[in-house]
Amino acid sequence: MFTPERSGFDALVGNPPWDVMKPYSHEFFSDFDPLYRTYDKQEALRKQRDLFETVPGVSNQWHDYSARFKSLANWARNAAHPFDLALAKGKEGSALASVWANRRQQRQGFAHPEHPFRLQGSADLNSYKMFTEVFWGLLRESGRLGILVPSGIYTDSGSRDLRDNFFRNANWEWLFSFENRRKVFAIDERFKFAVLIIERHYYNSSIRAAFMVQDLSTWGQKEPPVFEVDNEFVALSSPRNRSILEVRSERDLTIFRKMFSGGRLLGDDTGYWKTEYARELHVVDDSRLLPPVSRWIERGYFKDAFDEWSCGHGASALPIIEGRHIGQFEFAQKGWLSGRGRTAVWRNIPCDGKTINPQFLISKADYFGYSRSFLHPKLVFMDVASSTNTRTFFGCVIPSLPLIHKAPALRVNGGQLAPTLALCAICNSLSFDYVIRTRMSGLNVGWFVLEECPIPRLIPSEDEKRFVQVSAQLCFLHRRFAPEWLKLKHLYPELGSKDWKHWWAVTDADRLRLRVEIDALCADLYGLAPDDFDWIVRDDPSDPKGFYRVDRRLPFRERLTALAAAAFRALKEGKWSAETAASLSNDEFFETLGIPELTNAQAAHTKSLPGPLIAKRDGCHVWKPENFPEDDPRHGWTWDDCWNDAVALLGNEEAVRQYVEGETEASKSEAIEDGAYGLRNDPQRSKQGKLF
């Protein structure tokens, strides 16, 4: 019953649509050209112009179609304040507004006086958020709402205002989340939904939550298997976005409280880890700058030893790094072969022959003149990810190479090399991945996800030094990193004890050992106990976000997860440390962990094994760069070779000295502005962007 004294529904139940309210050119123009979805941006724009000129009425239809969404956005933006307009000028207008407000206060509507849509956030309009706010407005005091919506309602930054409203003005009673694995809905099985039950009456209570529910029948139980998430933990783990972490057990909740309480958030804008986030080139908006590699080849361009592309006229171009290129500590885990989009074919690139196989190139002059370029060493990561894949965060450090928008970048302390490499080690660790997986409800690692992930508040100097050197060994497997290696040798003179390319972690044994070190040291910095870390890396296929997929084809004790857990226990027992690790050979390190047969042939023979267990892993097992002939790009292993490569990259010896000896990475951008990287005498600098 609705009366002036009692308005609003006692209960509302709904399953609203979840459409993003904006025009889609693919959807519209495919009705006129079935092949439209296969075109790149420039081809699509040309096709649009052709259709406008040759098919009567298409132009008007497109503008009408787009205008409907603009009108809806304008209406939603102003609907909450329908009477906020001037009825006359000056004092007369104020008087009329006062009269109008008094009249309105005398009338009682059937819905809450605060009209929608005040809580839609700054992102694109989405129908599920609009319906949710309407339902909220139609509830009476103490009325209850049950609604089925996408999981973004409790994680996405665009839903923050709705969440904050529920935390402040309601009793959020229940939150159930499930994936579409059983095809309840006819969409992607990875899509996640959430069931919310909310009472319009505030009192400080915990949310009874269950995430990634597999057995839907458990919801019908009188006491379903849930645990409580209180507002205090939400404020601790997500003070900016008020997101709810997808925590699955009380044990996980205890570990997360420890990690968040003892650390700081990645997005905190102060101190050693001061971090900037950026996307550089956009494959659609900047398509005119990004011709496919085939068109450069037609113009006579060829790839050199530094993976730059040159022609006989002195002009040059750089490969575009995409998300698919990136692996954990690998700038070229994969290389493009053919095709586009989801149908593109990529190949794995081994660590003993890293090279960048790009889809697109950009003129070097265009890139260094581009306003959003990060011209410093930067931590690049794959934007598209999932919390239920083997791993979620895939990142590496690269120098001044261009990035597509699906490979965003983090710049640490203005682009300083050492903290960037140290952060790379932390973000690729199992401990960090454990947290970011709980923040992920969709398929994108956005800044709103990263900025509220905890990282260690303090890092001892020996740990930092080890992180920097290990990250460099894992990431910098290409001649293009010569300036960075010289910078590191200047910072850490002990690197001069071995030839340049002998530091490269190319073999499976080296890479596995160094990654195990990183995971153990990071667990220690996060303040975890060995039992905590054992829980994180446990072999539990029932946990949809678990790490049981890592090295799954191997026995558990040989996997990265089990080795990291063993290394962490040995670390806590004082058997090794960040300071002593560099002096241990691989055989000695794994013997400390109780598995010497992993790399030691004699130990393997003693256990009647055909050879070291590391041989089970696919990859490089021998790395002797001094044996490569001079015509092999991998030839040139000494520090003198490193210096020569750095001079070739930076333009002259003085630019190399400035970069290597400079107090900050600013010297590198100064060298760029002063003509390094071959730009000073580039005859095509002013016109190279118009080649296509």
Buried b / exposed e across 479-517, counting CB within 10 Å, b at 16+?
bbbbbbbbbbbeeeeebeeebbbebbbbbbbbbbbbbbb
77 CA to centre of own chain: 30
Query: Is the four-CA dihedral 224, 230, 236, 241 of positive or negative sign?
Result: positive
Query: Is the four-CA dihedral 465, 471, 477, 481 of positive or negative sign?
Result: negative
Q: Which helix (H) or strand (E) holds 670?
A: helix 666-673
Ranges for all domains in the chain classified under CATH 3.40.50.150: 9-17+126-244
Quick one: tokens of 298?
Answer: 């037609």
34 CA to centre of own chain: 33
pLDDT value of position 221: 62
pLDDT value of position 641: 96
Weakly modelled stretches of the chain, pLDDT under 50: 663-692
CATH of the structural domain 9-17+126-244, one choice from 2.60.410.10, 3.20.20.150, 3.10.20.30, 3.40.50.150: 3.40.50.150
Please tell me whether the peptide bond between 590 and the residue prior to it is cis, using omega within 30 degrees of 0: no
Q: Where are the beta strands (DSSP E) in 279-429?
A: 302-303, 309-310, 316-319, 334-338, 345-348, 361-363, 378-381, 395-398, 409-412
Specify which residues 600 forms β-bridges with. none
Q: Do residues 147 and 16 lie in contact, with contact meaning Cβ atoms separated by under 8 Å?
A: yes
Query: Is the four-CA dihedral 67, 73, 75, 77 of positive or negative sign?
Result: negative
pLDDT digits (tens, 9 = 90+) for 51-82: 988 888 889 999 999 898 888 888 888 877 76
Quick one: tokens of 103?
Answer: 């009249």
* Residue 51 burial by Cβ neighbours in a 10 Å radius (0-12, 13-18, 19+): middle
What is the C-alpha radius of gyration for the chain, rounded to an integer number of angstroms? 29
Specify which residues 361 forms β-bridges with. 319
Q: Do the bridges between strand 207-210 and strand 227-229 make them parallel or antiparallel, or are there none, so unpaired?
A: antiparallel
Interior CA angle at 133 toward 130 and 134, to 5°?
A: 85
Interior CA angle at 566 toward 565 and 568, to 5°?
A: 65
Q: Do residues 487 and 495 lie in contact, with contact meaning Cβ atoms separated by under 8 Å?
A: no
Q: Do residues 358 and 294 lie in contact, with contact meaning Cβ atoms separated by under 8 Å?
A: no
Q: What is the reported pTM?
A: 0.84
pLDDT digits (tens, 9 = 90+) for 480-491: 999 999 999 999
* Dist. CA 144–CA 142, nearest whole Å: 6
Dihedral angle of Cα 493, 499, 503, 509, to the nearest 10 degrees: -140
N-to-C CA span, the chain: 69
